[in-house]
Chain A
């Protein structure tokens, strides 16, 4: 089997990279073990919310210039501060092209509503999610907060108490539906993805719209947990149409229904454009020759090698097992890439979970083109993108999704330039 490019890892980064390559006419395959960080997405994509020293960033395009002074190993800095805005624009275009509707501005962060009820800066937010241009308050004076009775992964009181502080009055209402009773009978079933399936059914949408019309009263907007439909993407639109009201969704605890939908949308766009998505497969080994990777082997394909001109590693960090922490040190398990890390295990951690953890900055070493270093030397045709990159803290700097998408665009450009 021969492709122009093979991407290992089918999360946000791998999909964006793959989409751009197939759209440019490359024969491209993605090998995906199935899950990715999109499955617990907040519904937003962060670009840059804070600097390594903790200072908040309101404008990512401006912030990245200061970032360059604080951390020259940061992937944004390696890719070139001057290319930052263009890469971001390309990333947005790729999402939109795949039918993933997002809103946001690279020059100015907006704010998303967290499940804790606080407002957090971000770059892009999926349409349908509640968002605000202001860090201080929502654009609504009064909201109705609806939750499915017994859904524990969304706690409305957390949100309503915070909103009240910012001047938005909030009424909480729990609703029940016959279909919910059925899933509730199994004690583990009341989770977002299962509830979402209920709303793939027209009857449930109709029933919910009646509840909204009955309960919403004078409220300016109705907020719901993000569990409206797995297969169908138009549930929110139909609800709004029926009720004639502003209805928005708020992130829940995982799984993230809109995150799963985003992953599916990107995958379908990739496949429509001619890409091959090998779902449920895992890369296990490779062959190399004269400083190049020539082929890889996967679990499902056994001794049938997959050959390509270029390979892209998009396997994520620890959670997705793109990085594996062993007792003796952190390794990149597929290619044995050089990994940037602290000397001893005692230095991996900070005692407060909520401070920047050193292990989050560990990752695969790369050159300026994001080609992977092995034994200190760049491999001619092997790139790294996404969470596996070294030198950044996705959570504290609010840049995880941004690094994933921008590095994907950057590397696809580098491959296409060849």
Chain B
């Protein structure tokens, strides 16, 4: 392979996608490599909270300012990924009102609109909130779909000349005379290995960036912190609920799409655990106990699943003990820091600041490549986010049944018009819970780089509803095979592993209706269908 890129970006999370888009828009040719699908790491495993910054206002003025700026930008450029719900910081009797005063002052000084409202008014605004509340502050929180946001960045990057390789794992960095000049990647689907060269390599691997940096002989002191969350079976609240106190476990309840999310816990984990984390029964109990303080009805609400992500916390360079961690953005130019040319690490930060992280990184890339181009990512809407086009699209597809049309527009914005809806067969539903049609599944399979059912789920919400893939998984596997994504043998393996992936999130919360659903899934797939895991099949 002789093809050379200006930049290779390692990591297909929001950060990597943001860097790729910014580079492409400034005329720099990037290649993004990701070992799984896009948004599989921390990007896809958080609250999906469109932070107003209020949470950081008291302790971290800088982060708070960054958040509110990016919050306003995302509302403009990523409207189809954002739900402008608003947020409340509620004070319970045990919290007192002391913190509230300081909180509002800090918010206002960081440029965050914050207004104390009457508790009764707060309950009218969000009836699910704990009626015992003694105070409430309105802030411009919202929710953001991290996967949709990452996809939109990837789509735009590709429109402007970026290339993307998913399921490609970087095994080595190519070093020549103390300089990083490319990567050796393993194509996880074909098993093929190849070398790809570039002028600069950007490490945007999140917590996995720790090991990527090591491949260049560089040490970054990262601390993996596990955060567990619970997903509830319906949208319990319409306004983001926070506790008005010093940030603690399980004190944010975020509505997103058809569900609500409570999180998070926070605990240290080892590096060898970060690829496969299980939520424990204790964590589930803690999340429920604390979550019920925000919205008491959570105790009686069905929990769909539990999952955990890893925050890439970075210790300051001058503190090897790792005690002083920052949640701020960390851009490391390894040329000046470690004497390794052509290598940049972008880490720290948070989903909210992915765009700013992209901007800072691309500024540094431009400097290194002597490119004189300004960042435009704060002004240019992402594909799918044009409000006029969305309205037009909605009119174009008016014959589609209302629920299906709204779901499709919600998920794909103005790109919804690409979903084939002309015949009743295309409008037939694969997933009843989430109103996903045959046409939408086919659109994802053909246009959105789907390799397996988990990829398909991220793009369409197939299998994310209350039944967690009971019938739709089998239907979708059939469609995938029909469209030549794989043979039927692999379709069945994929189906089994998809069901196991669903089970991983269900097992920690499998009581009540969730256990009923799991038992049904087992009877159906293991019993009626005789589906087995791969190992048994080979036997």
Residue of B with least CB distance to A317: B519
How does the 8 Å CB contact mask read for B467-501 relative to A, with 1 for contact and 0 for none? 00001001101110110000111011000100110
Answer yes or no: B320 CB below 8 A from chain A CBs: no
How does the 8 Å CB contact mask read for A101-123 relative to B, with 1 for contact and 0 for none? 00000000000001111101000
Answer yes or no: B520 CB below 8 A from chain A CBs: yes
Residues in A with CB closer than 8 Å to B285 are: 327
- Whether B527 contacts A400 by the Cβ 8 Å rule is yes
Residue of A with least CB distance to B527: A395
Answer yes or no: A303 CB below 8 A from chain B CBs: no
- Whether A157 contacts B430 by the Cβ 8 Å rule is no
For the complex, count residues of A whose C-beta is within 8 A of B.
Answer: 53
Residue of A with least CB distance to B504: A351
In the complex, A254→B520 CA distance in Å? 10
In the complex, A402→B475 CA distance in Å? 30
- Whether B528 contacts A115 by the Cβ 8 Å rule is yes
- Whether B429 contacts A357 by the Cβ 8 Å rule is no
How does the 8 Å CB contact mask read for A81-94 relative to B, with 1 for contact and 0 for none? 00000000000000
- Whether B530 contacts A120 by the Cβ 8 Å rule is yes
- Whether B512 contacts A324 by the Cβ 8 Å rule is yes
- Whether B280 contacts A114 by the Cβ 8 Å rule is no
A42-B528 in contact given A116-B492, A152-B478, A346-B281 (Cβ < 8 Å): yes
In the complex, A36→B288 CA distance in Å? 32
In the complex, A144→B454 CA distance in Å? 33
Answer yes or no: B438 CB below 8 A from chain A CBs: yes
| A310 CB to nearest chain B CB (Å) | 29
* Chain A contacts with B in 365-418, Cβ cutoff 8 A: 394-396, 400
Answer yes or no: B507 CB below 8 A from chain A CBs: yes
In the complex, A353→B529 CA distance in Å? 14
Answer yes or no: B36 CB below 8 A from chain A CBs: no
| The one of B474, B482, B518, B532 that contacts A253, using a Cβ cutoff of 8 Å | B474
- Whether B424 contacts A184 by the Cβ 8 Å rule is yes
| The one of B474, B487, B521 that contacts A155, using a Cβ cutoff of 8 Å | B474
In the complex, A352→B534 CA distance in Å? 11
| The one of A149, A319, A349 that contacts B510, using a Cβ cutoff of 8 Å | A349
Answer yes or no: B427 CB below 8 A from chain A CBs: yes
- Whether B520 contacts A352 by the Cβ 8 Å rule is no
| The one of B424, B425, B471 that contacts A254, using a Cβ cutoff of 8 Å | B471
| A282 CB to nearest chain B CB (Å) | 16
* Chain B contacts with A in 514-539, Cβ cutoff 8 A: 515-516, 518-524, 526-533, 536
| A129 CB to nearest chain B CB (Å) | 12
- Whether A158 contacts B478 by the Cβ 8 Å rule is yes
In the complex, A351→B521 CA distance in Å? 15
Residues in B with CB closer than 8 Å to A353 are: 499-500, 503, 518, 521-522, 526
- Whether A188 contacts B424 by the Cβ 8 Å rule is no
A326-B511 in contact given A158-B478, A354-B532 (Cβ < 8 Å): yes
Residue of B with least CB distance to A349: B507
Residues in B with CB closer than 8 Å to A326 are: 511-512
Answer yes or no: A309 CB below 8 A from chain B CBs: no
| A269 CB to nearest chain B CB (Å) | 25
How does the 8 Å CB contact mask read for B423-453 relative to A, with 1 for contact and 0 for none? 0110111101000011000000000000000
Residues in B with CB closer than 8 Å to A185 are: 424
In the complex, A359→B518 CA distance in Å? 11
Residues in A with CB closer than 8 Å to B401 are: 187
- Whether B489 contacts A161 by the Cβ 8 Å rule is yes
| B465 CB to nearest chain A CB (Å) | 13
| B420 CB to nearest chain A CB (Å) | 13
| B462 CB to nearest chain A CB (Å) | 12
- Whether B500 contacts A352 by the Cβ 8 Å rule is yes
Residues in B with CB closer than 8 Å to A344 are: 281
Residues in B with CB closer than 8 Å to A188 are: 429, 432
- Whether A395 contacts B530 by the Cβ 8 Å rule is no
Residues in A with CB closer than 8 Å to B221 are: none
Answer yes or no: B326 CB below 8 A from chain A CBs: no
Residues in A with CB closer than 8 Å to B128 are: none
How does the 8 Å CB contact mask read for A156-178 relative to B, with 1 for contact and 0 for none? 01100110000000000000000
Residue of B with least CB distance to A43: B528
- Whether A359 contacts B281 by the Cβ 8 Å rule is no
Answer yes or no: A181 CB below 8 A from chain B CBs: yes
Answer yes or no: A251 CB below 8 A from chain B CBs: yes
In the complex, A133→B310 CA distance in Å? 53
A395-B500 in contact given A185-B424, A318-B516, A346-B280 (Cβ < 8 Å): no
- Whether B523 contacts A319 by the Cβ 8 Å rule is yes
A348-B489 in contact given A152-B438, A157-B482 (Cβ < 8 Å): no
- Whether A187 contacts B428 by the Cβ 8 Å rule is yes
Shortest 6 CB-CB distances between A and B: which pairs?
A155-B478, A114-B530, A353-B503, A152-B475, A325-B511, A184-B424
**Can you list 8 A-B contacts (CB < 8 A)?**
A116-B531, A157-B481, A161-B489, A184-B428, A188-B429, A319-B523, A325-B515, A353-B526
Q: A152-B428, A188-B432, A357-B522 are in contact. List 15 more A-B contacts (CB 8 A).
A: A40-B524, A114-B528, A114-B529, A114-B530, A115-B528, A116-B529, A150-B425, A152-B475, A253-B471, A321-B516, A325-B512, A345-B281, A352-B500, A353-B526, A359-B519
